[in-house]
């Protein structure tokens, strides 16, 4: 009896399809933040409670675990209770598809990033793709590139000032000089 209880508990625990603050999610969030994108997390009022919601860009991002959401990369499923898992994962896939359709019907851009795409080997490529997709969304909505997309550019004025320090003192002096004479 006690044994069965723990197994049920384990199932209940493991069947939570959406964890919070998973490592793949943090990778995406940190990257977004650095790019200047701002977002909210786990918005319950939207279908599927998206992991990341960027209202300004009418965009949601799901960061999906490959096993729970039945990504095609998952070749082997657990041998025990194979049917149980197959059905469960199939239900998850159906629910995901339904939620995404609802979001799209309401005018949201829906982006799905898979856990396996954020493994170190493929991470950069995935984030570059994400950057392209988001840039296009921003461009479509505003007609201009995302202003915060490239934080490095913000610091360019400082760099420019640093590379041209010689002009400034001489200009300042020449401007002061007439005042001093009067
Ligand atoms: Zn995968």
3-state secondary structure of 142: helix
Helix (H, G, I), strand (E, B) or coil at 12: helix
**Global pTM?**
0.70
The dihedral through the CA atoms of 39, 40, 43, 48 has a sign that is positive
Q: Ligand 1: distance of its center to the CA of 7 in Å?
A: 27
pLDDT at 81: 80
Which residues pair with residue 147 across a beta bridge? none
CA of 93 to the centre of ligand 1 (A): 13
**What pLDDT, on a 0 to 100 scale, did the predictor assign at position 174?**
40
pLDDT (0 to 100) of residue 123: 96
Q: Residue 125 Cα, ligand 1 centroid: separation in angstroms?
A: 15
Please give the helix or strand (H or E) that residue 92 lies within, else none.
Answer: helix 82-105
- Each residue's pLDDT tens digit in the chain (182 positions)? 444 545 555 554 444 556 788 899 999 999 999 999 999 999 999 999 999 999 999 999 999 999 999 999 987 666 678 888 889 999 999 999 999 999 999 999 999 999 999 999 999 999 999 999 999 999 988 887 766 554 443 444 433 333 333 333 444 444 444 444 43
pLDDT for position 155: 40
The arrangement of strands across the sheet holding 59-64 comes to: 40-41, 52-54, 59-64, 109-114
Q: What is the pLDDT of residue 99?
A: 98
Round to whole Å and give the CA distance between 61 and 29.
Answer: 10
Rounded distance from Cα 75 to ligand 1 centre (Å): 10
Half-sphere exposure of 48 (CA within 13 A, CB side): 27
pLDDT for res 20: 83
pLDDT for 176 equals 41
Q: How far is the CA of 10 from the centre of ligand 1 (A)?
A: 23
Structural domains of the chain, with CATH: 2-150 (3.40.960.10)
C-alpha 67 to ligand 1 mean position (Å): 8
DSSP output for 145-181:
--TTS-HHHHTHHHHHHHH-TTHHHHHHHHHHHHHHH
Tokens 């991002």 correspond to 61
172 Cα: distance to centroid of ligand 1 (angstroms): 61
d(CA 119, ligand 1 centre) in Å: 10
Query: What is the pLDDT at residue 147?
Result: 62
Nearest Cα neighbor of 28 from 148, 115, 145 is 115
**Residue 163 Cα to ligand 1 middle (Å):** 47
- Report the pLDDT value the prediction gives residue 159, as an integer from 0 to 100: 37
Distance 92 CA to ligand 1 centre (A): 15
Q: How far apart are the C-alpha atoms of 97 and 27, rounded to whole Å?
A: 24
Distance 129 CA to ligand 1 centre (A): 16
Torsion angle, alpha carbons of 135, 138, 141, 142, to 10: -110
């Amino acid at each position: 009896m006690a044994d069965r209880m723990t197994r049920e508990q384990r199932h209940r625990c493991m069947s939570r399809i959406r964890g919070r603050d998973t490592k793949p999610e943090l990778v995406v969030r940190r990257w977004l933040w650095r790019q200047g994108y701002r977002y909210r997390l786990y918005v319950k009022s939207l279908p599927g409670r998206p992991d990341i919601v960027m209202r300004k860009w009418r965009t949601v991002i799901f960061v999906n675990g490959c096993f729970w959401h039945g990504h095609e990369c998952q070749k082997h499923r657990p041998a025990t209770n194979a049917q149980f898992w197959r059905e469960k994962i199939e239900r998850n896939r159906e629910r995901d598809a339904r939620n995404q359709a609802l979001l799209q019907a309401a005018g949201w851009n829906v982006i799905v990033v898979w856990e396996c795409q954020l493994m170190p080997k493929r991470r950069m490529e995935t984030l570059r793709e994400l950057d392209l997709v988001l840039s296009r969304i921003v461009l479509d909505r505003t007609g201009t590139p995302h202003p915060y997309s490239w934080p490095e550019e913000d610091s360019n004025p400082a760099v420019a000032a640093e590379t041209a320090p010689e002009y400034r003192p001489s200009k300042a002096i020449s401007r002061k000089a007439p005042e001093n004479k009067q």
